[in-house]
Chains A and B, each alone.
Chain A
Amino acid sequence: MSQQYMMKGNEALAEAALRAGCRYFFGYPITPQTELSAYMSKRMPKIGGTFLQAESEIAAINMVLGASSVGARVMTSSSSPGISLKTEGISYIAGSDLPCLIVNVQRGGPGLGGIQPSQADYFQATKAPGHGDLHIMVFAPASIQEIVDMVGRAFDKADQYRVPAMLLADGALGQMMEPIAFPDESEEKKLPEKPWAATGTKGSRKPNIINSLYLNPNKLEDSVRERFERYEKIKENEVLYEEVMTDDADLVLIAYGITSRICKTAVNMARAEGIKLGLLRPITLWPFPEKAIAKIADHAKAFMSVEMSMGQMVDDVRLAVNGKCPVRFFGRTGGVIPTPDEILQAAKDVLASVGGDK
């Protein structure tokens, strides 16, 4: 069996990135992700990598843009207010078809908000990670082991599709400790060739240009359409989710990240009382598991989206359910973590209000 470690989410994430071949990290300090940067600052110099504390999140994401442009596997991490500053760079990175990993260890907002765990950046991550027509892949792990398993995948998928990836965690996942094992590391990680990278022509090819500017509107439309064709492939092939007792469920909870674990407890409590509660946990938020939800909507009586926000993902659940049954919401916000009891009570209330057979 591979070795077990007891690690904080932030540190495990950093170590997993190193093991996935990431050698460049650019960041700016912010709670609750600081341990991630600190870990990188300690380890990178020892393994020939680069850790750079930038003057701002804006600078950090643009350093990521530069490093990715020349072919590096590169990442940055931050928390909510810092991600707002990165959105400019994310848009340019997406528009230039550059791969990279962006980590958001979410905290409560808006504004300076708080430093406790939150899921209030769902809209930002999935709808508007930057200006313009664009998407990024958004991965939402629910445990530290899943963080560790997902980091390498996020890098690989970003390279494969030339689309930036975001790992959307929260202050709880970042700060708590769990036992983990790292994926098999017997072989040295081989990274893909990047013939498009701007590494100098060496006199043997035309210049490579990394760019998001097209003054000709038809050319710009062509480039956006080509990117959206890749998005379609991502939607077909890269959706990840977990289902818990949805087959016979009357009410299906939809929750991601740390909230999904609290929902699992609520599901078990409900089942012990004979209440048919189920859970669907999106593991990728973009692409969203809309087909899986639509299928469940054929037999479930209702859905309830549970989030640490005032209700953001619930919009996507409604779109997926498409009127087949009621979609309700339960959430706590501002850094308040919902309890299994209050989720179970909210579920009972929904079931009472929707009543009857399907």
Chain B
Amino acid sequence: MAVVFEKTRGLTDVATHYCPGCGHGIVHRLVAESLVELDVLEKTVGVCPVGCSVMAYDYFNCDFIEAPHGRAPAVATGAKRVLGDKNIVFTYQGDGDLAAIGTAETVHSATRGENITIIFINNAIYGMTGGQMAPTTLPGQVTQTTPYGRDVKTAGYPVRVCEMLSTLDGVYYAERVAVDSVPHINAAKAAIKKAFQNQIDGKGFSIVEVVSNCPTNWGLSPAESMQWLRDNMLPYYPLGVYKDKDKGGNE
């Protein structure tokens, strides 16, 4: 019988703690498959964030370092500066981790052009702590700490990470993808693979922003959450390549 789908050996054989229908699981698979297909899993060192993916080290079948909240890019910088070309170093971070508490670490690892790969999950909310406003929470979006909807007059505007980072000369590659449909998931996989290939080729800082969901804290079913993502997040966070030095700079 033909095998049409197999669990990648890039993931361990344990049940994850992610909620049913959560995008974290999809992105874990895409990252793990990419590392296996590029034949670098055995020399990869991951850095996990503080957020729902804090225990990603239990799920990926490679060496891992747990970083303090927001500091993953600095931790990855230290690791990569020591390991050099011998290893692949990546971070996996949520939006609170990467774009709020860790903004400085993100921007400066990017502007230094560190040869690392960042997988950034934008789910417009703080998942782990129970659904507070994230830097990416949309205007008007209701969260635990914006109970009347995010009022931009007092809570400010969302951060568009790919757009912001694409202005930095140190960034080699920045693309925004989503995991709400099969075509989008396939495109996400291609982007993640490219981001790792860039590191293998020594090209420098690559980030893939994945627009994802949080059915639990959005208060929606998994299917409804995907529709909400399409209707609300994709207009604010357009998918696409924001920077690719292979193609000569900004697109």
How many residues belonging to B are interface residues under a CB distance threshold of 8 Å? 35
The stretch that binds A, out of B53-61, B196-204, B242-250, is: B53-61
B82–A207 contact, CB under 8 A? no
CA distance A24 to B107 in the complex (A): 22
The stretch that binds B, out of A57-65, A279-287, A317-325, is: A57-65
Does B67 reach chain A (CB closer than 8 Å)?
Answer: yes
**Partner pick for B105 among A26, A55, A69, A71, CB 8 A cutoff:** A55
Does A345 reach chain B (CB closer than 8 Å)?
Answer: no
CA distance A96 to B64 in the complex (A): 12
Per-position binary interface string of chain A over residues 81-112, scored 1 when its CB falls under 8 Å from any chain B CB and 0 otherwise: 00000001100100010000000000000000
B206 CB → nearest A CB, Å: 18
A59 CB → nearest B CB, Å: 4
B74–A62 contact, CB under 8 A? yes
Does B8 reach chain A (CB closer than 8 Å)?
Answer: no
A193-212 residues with Cβ-Cβ distance < 8 A to B are: 198-203, 207-212
A200–B62 contact, CB under 8 A? yes
CA distance A54 to B64 in the complex (A): 23
Assess A62 versus B67: contact at CB under 8 Å? Given A54-B108, A207-B57. Answer: yes
A65 CB → nearest B CB, Å: 5
- Number of residue pairs across A and B with beta carbons under 8 Å? 136
Smallest CB gap from B43: residue in A:
A200
List A contacts of B104 (CB < 8 A): 55-56, 58-59
List A contacts of B75 (CB < 8 A): 62-63, 65-66, 69
List B contacts of A200 (CB < 8 A): 42-45, 62-63, 83, 86-87
**Partner pick for A213 among B41, B66, B76, B80, CB 8 A cutoff:** B66
User: Which B residues contact A (CB, under 8 angstroms)?
Assistant: 41-45, 47, 54-55, 57, 60-68, 71, 74-83, 86-87, 104-105, 107-108
Please list the 3 inter-chain residue pairs (A to B) with the smallest Cβ-Cβ separation, ordered nearest first. A66-B78, A63-B78, A62-B74
12 further A-B pairs in the complex, CB-CB below 8 A; given A62-B75, A74-B82, A200-B44: A50-B81, A59-B77, A59-B104, A59-B105, A66-B76, A69-B65, A70-B45, A198-B63, A199-B87, A201-B61, A202-B42, A210-B64
Can you list 26 A-B pairs with a CB-CB distance of less than 8 A?
Answer: A24-B81, A50-B82, A54-B74, A55-B105, A59-B104, A62-B71, A63-B75, A63-B77, A65-B65, A66-B75, A66-B82, A67-B79, A68-B78, A69-B65, A72-B78, A92-B68, A198-B79, A200-B44, A200-B45, A200-B83, A207-B60, A207-B61, A208-B63, A209-B63, A211-B57, A213-B66
